[in-house]
Structure formats: C-alpha cells, structure tokens
Structure 1
Amino acid sequence: MLSTRAVGLGPSLRQAAFRPTRAQALKSVVRTSIAKRTIQTERLKPTDAIDILNKQRLSRPSSPHFTIYQPQLTWLGSIFNRATGVALSALLYGFSLAYLFAPTTFDSAHVIEFVQGLPDAVKYGGKFLLSLPFTFHSFNGLRHLAWDSGRFLTVKSAYSTGYAVIGATALSTLYLTFF
C-alpha cells in the first residue's frame, strides 16, 4: 500500500506559533511554501525488511583482513602461539582419551616398544614435531608473563624479545631433537 505524506511542515508551523514575530512569520510562510516535498512510503512485511538489510550488508565494504598487511613479528608470534597451544592440547587430550579407552594398548611399555621399531628418520621427525611447539609455546609464555608484569612493552623490546624467543626455540628444538 502506497501513501503520500508531506514532510517538513510541522517544525516550521510550530516555530511560527511559538514565536509570533513578523520576521519569523514571514520566514515560516516562505519556508512552508518552498520546502514542501512528498515522499512515497510502502508497508513491508518483517521478512522483506530482513531481505533489504541483507542486501545492504552485501554491498557494504568489508573490514581489512590481516592478509593485506605486511607480516609482522608480533602477530605472527601470536598466531603461532595459539596454534602451538591448540596442537599441544590436542595431543595431550588425544593421548589421555586413548589411554582411558584402551589402557593396555597405550601404556608406557607398548608405546616405547612401538617407538623402538620405527626408523631413525621417523623418530627424529617426531621428536622435532613434538619439541618445536613445546619449546616455542614455553618461551613465548615466559615472554607473555614478562608483559603481564609490565616489562618489555615498547615496540623495540617487543621485537627484541620476539627474536629472542625464536632463537631460544631454534636452539632448544635442535637440542631436544638430536641429543
């Protein structure tokens, strides 16, 4: 259902009624005669309003994603810290659940016997894959504890501690993998 209504008359008429000076009255007469316009409105069902809103959302610009920015040590470290935390948690909970449901298969003796039968390359690869997330997450956790205590919060010190975490992770991962 389409309806037409006048927009813009009410405020000027009220203003003229409350300020009955000649200048105001003349302004309101001029304003009401010039500023008259009509608009058409249409009744919509609630589902139509949702469709219009979704169409408007599609045409809005999206916020920038992190892929358009130059990689920085701070956000790469944050992403890697979260990924290593998830990986370590998944390993811990996965092995715990496996041991809970099959304790005779996943006990220490069977695990050691299984690992002894693997080739050396697979053993070193497995040690590397376990030690890298463990050492990075540990050293980066110490870095975050230092941040929580109010230390190393400048940009320069955040980068220097980030490089220190990477160096300590590399050295300790190599040590745990090969010694």
Structure 2
Amino acid sequence: MFSQKVAQQSLRRLAVQQPLAMRSSMMGASPVAVALGKNIQTRQVTSTPNTEDPSQILVKQRLNRPIAPHLTIYKPQIGWIGSSLHRITGVALSGTLYIWATAYLASPALGWHLESASMVAAMGALPLVAKVLLKTTLALPFTYHAMNGIRHLMWDLGRGLTNPVIIKTGWTVVGLSIASAVGLALI
C-alpha cells in the first residue's frame, strides 16, 4: 500500500514538472528514481549559425504566404456596395458635422460670418439650379444613410437575409433615397 502511494505521488510530481517526460518514466524508471528526480531526460542542443539578414528572412516568408483575393475579382453586388456606401456616408456625415460645428463655434473669433442670416442671404443669391443641386448633394448622403440604416436594422432582427430580398431592398433604398433627396431639395 505504501509503495503504491509513493509511486502515485512521484508520477503526479513528474506530470506537473515535466509533462513530456511522463511517458518515459512509465517505461522503466522506478518510482523512487522518479521521486528523487534521478531520471531527468536531457538532449543535446544543436543549432546552426545563421548568417542571413533577419529582414530578408521575413521577406522570403512573406513570398510563401497565401494571398487573399481582392475585391476586384468579385462581381459588384448591391449588398456589399450598399454596406460600403452606408459606412462611407456615415463617416462623411459625422465628419461634416464636426467640421461645421467647429467652424461655427470658432467663427466669431476668426471674423467669419456663419450665422443664420448670412447663410440665408448666401443661399438666396444662388440661381435656382445651383440651389437644387447643392441641396440635393447635401441631402443625398443623409437620406441614403437613413434608409439603409433601416435596412440594416431589419437585418439585425434577422429579417430579409436571403439574396433576392437583399437585392430588392438594396435597389429600393437607392431609389427611395434619390427620390427623397430630390424632394427635400425642392422644398
């Protein structure tokens, strides 16, 4: 009974200290030798001198890596184009807001006239075609981002995730956003 307990403790100690040496200890080393640490395996260290430039080693390794396909090999689809435009319009709208708000707050100190009265006067001086084009250009990113945001919220609910529905809703978003941007410009 005592010898079994010594053997178990020795094997546990060896498994914690040297997990890979566990197999060899089971193949012939006595429990006493394992307990006293007399069966430690060693191996000779071999290395070759490396005279190659480390940066060239990395360049050679990169040449052997697989290359991921680029977007140019795929046929453009309304799903990924719409999602990309959604992100682009979001960044454009928020960036424009931050720049405009900063300019508006700094305008009194810089002598700029960005108050409402001067903006209305500047817009009123433009020809009708320029007004409609400018207002459409400003409204289109907003309307597209808003309409496509609703589409993305539907996807988050797990609805409309089949290819025919994605194509149909993608073109619907494009049409509705153009129509609503022109409608806002004509107001």
TM superposition score normalised by structure 1: 0.70
Matched, 1:72 2:80: no
Deviates more, 1:53-62 or 1:66-75: 53-62
- Residue in 1 aligned with 2:176? 168
Deviates more, 1:67-76 or 1:49-58: 49-58
- Residue in 2 aligned with 1:36? none
Query: Shift of the alpha carbon at 1:108?
Result: 1.1
Query: Shift of the alpha carbon at 1:60?
Result: 3.8
Query: Shift of the alpha carbon at 1:93?
Result: 0.8
Matched, 1:95 2:127: no
Structure-2 separation of matches of 1:62 and 1:71? 20
Q: Which runs of structure 2 are paired with 1:1-179 in the superposition (5 Å)? A: 42-44=48-50, 48-58=53-63, 60-103=65-108, 105-179=113-187
Query: Shift of the alpha carbon at 1:59?
Result: 5.1
Q: CA-to-partner distance for each residue in 1:73-132, whole Å, 9 max, x for gaps?
A: 101101111111111112111110001111462111121112112232321221111111
Aligned-partner residue type, residue 89 of structure 2: T
Q: CA-to-partner distance for each residue in 1:44-92, whole Å, 9 max, x for gaps?
A: 26x8233211233145442111011100010110111111111111211
Structure-1 separation of matches of 2:184 and 2:50? 68
Structure-2 separation of matches of 1:121 and 1:43? 75
Local SS of the residue matching 1:136: helix
Structure-1 separation of matches of 2:126 and 2:63? 54
Judging changes above 3 Å, is the alpha-carbon distance between structure 1 residues 55 and 122 closer, same or farther for their aligned structure 2 residues?
A: farther
Aligned-partner residue type, residue 138 of structure 2: L
Local SS of the residue matching 2:76: coil
Identity %: 44
Structure-2 separation of matches of 1:132 and 1:83? 12
Unpaired runs of 5+ residues, structure 1, are 1-17, 19-40
TM superposition score normalised by structure 2: 0.67
Unpaired runs of 5+ residues, structure 2, are 1-26, 28-46
